Structure 1
Amino acid sequence: MTAVSIEKKVNGTPVASPELGEGRDHPDEEQHTPQPTPAAPSRREEKRLDKSTDRADARLDKAQEREEARRDADHKRETKEKERQAKADRKAQQRADKDKARAKRRKERRTAWTSLQTRLTHHMPMWGLPVVLVSLAVGATGQAGAASAAGMGWASAGVPVLTEGMTLTLAGLTGQAIEQRRPYAWLMRATWITAAGAATINALGHYIEGKAGDPQEALYRAAMYGVASMLGLVLWWVVMRSKRAAISGKTADEVARWKRLGRRHPLLMRRARRVADNTGKSMADAYATVWERANGARPGEPSIREIRASRRAAYRRRLAQSWDGRRGLRKQSERAAAVVPVPQADTVGTPESAGSAGVRTPVQAPALPVALLVPGGQGGWVEHPVPVLPMATPKRVRTGSDQSATARFPQGKDAVSKRVRKSVHDDRLNTVRALVESEAARGCDLRKHPSNRAVARAAGCRPGTARELLATVLAERGITR
């Protein structure tokens, strides 16, 4: 049979039956005596308990409501604070944006003003601007008045715009050309021409206006207006000269020297510029190279012309010193045979001191028998003895090889020309060596590079000479083409 548990209810609470062993942890455990159960509460007690429970629940609900209300109030307060803070942040951001925009505009205005000052100071210092502005104002008003007096009517306002505007434009272009190191001479000339035309229009207009009254006053007024309109350009020209010297990096003496060289040797300066452009040399080195090619000597050394002139002068000096007073061309032997020494006359009143053997009497140089009459004081003539000097050593007879002349050495291959030729040859060899060294550094094949044309361009010689120089330099490296 299956055991069935029997439960009993005590005060509404089920209790296990002890007869079936329920309520024990283990069947072998010792059974205890059951405790007595409390009595069931009365109905009044149950109502009191229910009311106390309801009051507790009500208090709990009110506490929860107050807590929710407090949380809502805190949330509203936080939301309001966040909104206020966001509004304050927006205002602060707007104020910061306004300050930033104002600072940016101020910086842009400052930058624009600085840029304007920089552009103006490129052409004229700040303290020179009032002079230029006054000169422009005087010129513009004077030209407008002159055009109006000439009967141009409403078109008279455009005359200063044309003349002064053209002058300002050309002056600005000239300043830019000088700053960028471009040719500017023709722009400078055009600026002066337009400024002179504007000043002429200004002066003639004022002269025509005042000619009806006092002519001298009209002339003086016209001259003053013309000079006043040119003073601004004169100041600008001085500033441009200083700027040109500063940009070129040369002193005033060097700039003046190069200008003199350009005026005296325009062809050599043009060739020097071409050599500098083709080879990349400096202008001084290029001019030295061109000078050496043209004169056969380096700058500072006597040139071919100077050597020939000194030789001619020395030859004429020898002829003048050995002249015997006769006309015509005769041989040196005949001229020497005709020379007769002049006997020296004894001085009257001076006894001969034969015993004074230790004192040697000076021997005067022989002179020609016929004295040369030269102009003297009081319109008279004075006899001047012509001394006879020893014969000069005859010039060396040139052989056929020495008499050969070339375009570069028109006087022949003497010692000076040979030295100059050797110097030029050594300089060209050094130039070719430097060119070959640069090609080797670049990793080029020296059997193909550099070309004969490149060598001729670098050394400034003919292709045949360049081929020989290149072969010599390559042979030093053990390379043959």
Structure 2
Amino acid sequence: MTMYSTDTPVNGQDQEVPPFGTAPIPGSRGEEKRAHLQARRTEDRADRREAAEERRRDREHKRRMKTEAKNAKVGLALQKKAERQKLRAKRRKERAGRLVELREKLSHHMPLWGLPVVLVSLAVGASGQADAALAAGMGWASGGVPILTEGMTLTLAGLTAQAIEQRRPHGWLMRATWATATGAAAINAAGHYIAGVEDGADKALYRAVLYAGASMLGLVLWWIVMRSKRAAISGRSAEETTRWKRLARRHPVLVRRARRVVDNTGLSLPEAYAMVWQRANGAAPGEPSIREIRASRRAAFKRTQAEAWDGRTRFSRTAPAPAVVVPAAVEPEPETVPELASEAAPELIPAPYLPVALAVPGLDGQWIAHRVPVHPLPAWRPCQEPGSETATTRFPQGQEPLPDPSPDASEDEDGTQPDEAQEQVREQVADDRLDKARALVEQAALEGRNLRRHPSNRQMARHLGCRPGTAREYLTQVLAERGIRR
């Protein structure tokens, strides 16, 4: 039996659709079966289409999930790569920063092109020091001798450079660095001399001196660099530096005192030098000192004596006969009536000045012309009167010593001789100084200072207005009262 699909049209028309214009024929059993079969086949086709669509959607979902997983994997790999690159760049930047920081730290103490000289100098010094330690019988500990000597030299050199950079006192650090480097060079020379003495004493000595000098070249280079760095930090010009060097050569004591004042008070060096100059000469820089004023007065007095000389010498007994002077004819001038001067206000005549101005040094290294007045001097005496054989006592400012007692002096109203009055003045001065010394020590104790160091002898001398030796005696007596010995 041949089966025909109900979907196939017959004569161009669908069999389920009745022809146009005809009434539907009542259904039979066969037609119902064909209708049911047609409906089932239609449902089966719809189910197959839905299943195919579901499979297509599943394949598309799987393909999309696979693509997303692949993209996520690629993205994760790219992210990890970017993080690795970022971390590598960060490490590279940090490494470059550390190198720059290390280079800057090294350049503070030594330029980069000078480091090979220092390294070679250290290596040359370490070789001879190890040989010297072996020759001394130190054995396995001989390897630590170069580390001790060269390491101490490097440490002191670094501390000196930091002190110079921070403008702190560095003189004793510089001296300690030179001392340790010299000791290391001596040990190096001894090691090379002992090692080469078998070849001959002359060759061994030449070798030792050569190695010792080579080990010191690094320190010499460092010292030159530190001098240039100190000059750059100080901010002085070449002319100012030259001026201070000249002052240090001409007045070494004053410059040393000025630098001590700078360290103690924090003043600038020109201000401290001006203060020290005024204390030493009794006048500010640029003004004539007491010594110069006395010299000018002495010259004026000698000039006056020369002008008043009558021609006699110390060996001639009679004065030379004066020459006959014929007076010249002088016309009489009209008499002037002098003005009556009041007795209450005597006439003041200004003191004459020297005809030549005195050149004195100024603050900026230049010479300043200063006119020096000539004051009248006391009458000259051929010899000094004999004084007392006893030593005189130096009195503080504001207290004048009493005159020396004479043998025929009478007693005062209170029954004391002049020498006893002198002794009373001395005791009063000593008591006043002791009271001032006790007050200064008490102030130092209240401030919590170490009385074995504070106050110093120089500070006590400035406080009492006496010499450091005398101030030391008073300070020792006051500290002894507290049970402290220096």
TM-score (norm 1): 0.56
| 2:103 is the alignment partner of 1:112 | no
Larger Rg: 1
Distance apart, 1:273 and its partner CA = 4.7
In the alignment, which of 212, 215, 221 is matched to residue 235 of structure 1? Answer: 221
Distance apart, 1:198 and its partner CA = 1.1
Q: Cα RMSD between the aligned structures?
A: 3.7
Distance between the aligned counterparts of 2:104 and 2:39, measured in 1?
Answer: 94
- Cross-structure match for 1:215: 201
- Cross-structure match for 1:416: none
Cα 1:39/1:142, change in 2 over 3 Å? same
- Cross-structure match for 2:332: none
In the alignment, which of 270, 273, 289 is matched to residue 284 of structure 1? Answer: 270
Distance between the aligned counterparts of 1:83 and 1:394, measured in 2?
Answer: 112
Distance apart, 1:86 and its partner CA = 1.4
- Secondary structure at the aligned position of 2:146 is classed as helix
Amino acid across the alignment from 2:190: L
Per-residue CA deviation, residues 152-198 of structure 1 (Å, 9 max, x unaligned), is 33332222222111111111111111112222111100000011111
- Cross-structure match for 2:257: 267
Cα 1:43/1:273, change in 2 over 3 Å? same
Cα 1:166/1:269, change in 2 over 3 Å? closer
Does the 8 Å contact 2:125/2:185 carry over to 1? Answer: yes
Does the 8 Å contact 2:300/2:374 carry over to 1? Answer: no
- Cross-structure match for 1:144: 130
Distance between the aligned counterparts of 1:342 and 1:221, measured in 2?
Answer: 92
Per-residue CA deviation, residues 299-355 of structure 1 (Å, 9 max, x unaligned), is 3333343333333344345445655565569xxxx99x8684599xxxxxxxxxxxx
Distance between the aligned counterparts of 1:98 and 1:394, measured in 2?
Answer: 92
Does the 8 Å contact 1:272/1:287 carry over to 2? Answer: no
In the alignment, which of 54, 63, 66 is matched to residue 68 of structure 1? Answer: 54
Distance between the aligned counterparts of 2:306 and 2:131, measured in 1?
Answer: 74
Distance between the aligned counterparts of 1:155 and 1:240, measured in 2?
Answer: 34
- Cross-structure match for 1:53: 39
Cα 1:70/1:318, change in 2 over 3 Å? farther
Does the 8 Å contact 1:272/1:290 carry over to 2? Answer: no
- Cross-structure match for 1:6: none
In the alignment, which of 217, 241, 245 is matched to residue 231 of structure 2? Answer: 245
Per-residue CA deviation, residues 85-136 of structure 1 (Å, 9 max, x unaligned), is 1111222222222222322332232222222221111111111111111111
TM-score (norm 2): 0.55
Does the 8 Å contact 2:259/2:269 carry over to 1? Answer: no
Could you tell me which runs of 5 or more consecutive residues in structure 1 were left unpaired when the two chains were aligned. 1-36, 344-392, 399-405, 409-461, 463-481
- Secondary structure at the aligned position of 2:44 is classed as helix
Per-residue CA deviation, residues 262-304 of structure 1 (Å, 9 max, x unaligned), is 64312333335544x3xxx654345445645665544333334
- Secondary structure at the aligned position of 2:236 is classed as coil
How is 1:37-48 mapped onto 2 (pairs within 5 angstroms)? 41-48=27-34
| Percent identity between the two aligned chains | 58
Cα 1:138/1:394, change in 2 over 3 Å? closer
- Cross-structure match for 1:177: 163
Distance between the aligned counterparts of 1:339 and 1:236, measured in 2?
Answer: 81
Amino acid across the alignment from 2:41: R
| 2:184 is the alignment partner of 1:198 | yes
Distance between the aligned counterparts of 1:339 and 1:314, measured in 2?
Answer: 28
Q: Which deviates more, 195-204 or 165-174?
A: 195-204
Amino acid across the alignment from 2:176: A
- Secondary structure at the aligned position of 1:181 is classed as coil
How is 1:25-424 mapped onto 2 (pairs within 5 angstroms)? 41-255=27-241, 257-258=243-244, 263-265=252-254, 266-275=256-265, 277=266, 282-285=268-271, 287-288=273-274, 291-292=277-278, 295=281, 297-319=283-305, 323=309, 326=312, 340=322, 395-396=375-376
- Cross-structure match for 1:442: none
- Secondary structure at the aligned position of 2:287 is classed as coil
Could you tell me which runs of 5 or more consecutive residues in structure 2 were left unpaired when the two chains were aligned. 1-22, 326-372, 379-395, 399-462, 464-486
Distance between the aligned counterparts of 1:224 and 1:159, measured in 2?
Answer: 20
Amino acid across the alignment from 2:102: L
Distance apart, 1:146 and its partner CA = 2.5
- Cross-structure match for 1:5: none
Cα 1:193/1:99, change in 2 over 3 Å? same
Does the 8 Å contact 2:258/2:276 carry over to 1? Answer: yes
- Cross-structure match for 2:402: none
Cα 1:239/1:320, change in 2 over 3 Å? farther
Does the 8 Å contact 1:149/1:205 carry over to 2? Answer: yes
Amino acid across the alignment from 1:268: A
Does the 8 Å contact 1:148/1:156 carry over to 2? Answer: yes
Q: Which deviates more, 226-235 or 48-57?
A: 48-57
Distance between the aligned counterparts of 2:36 and 2:294, measured in 1?
Answer: 149
**Number of equivalent positions:** 309
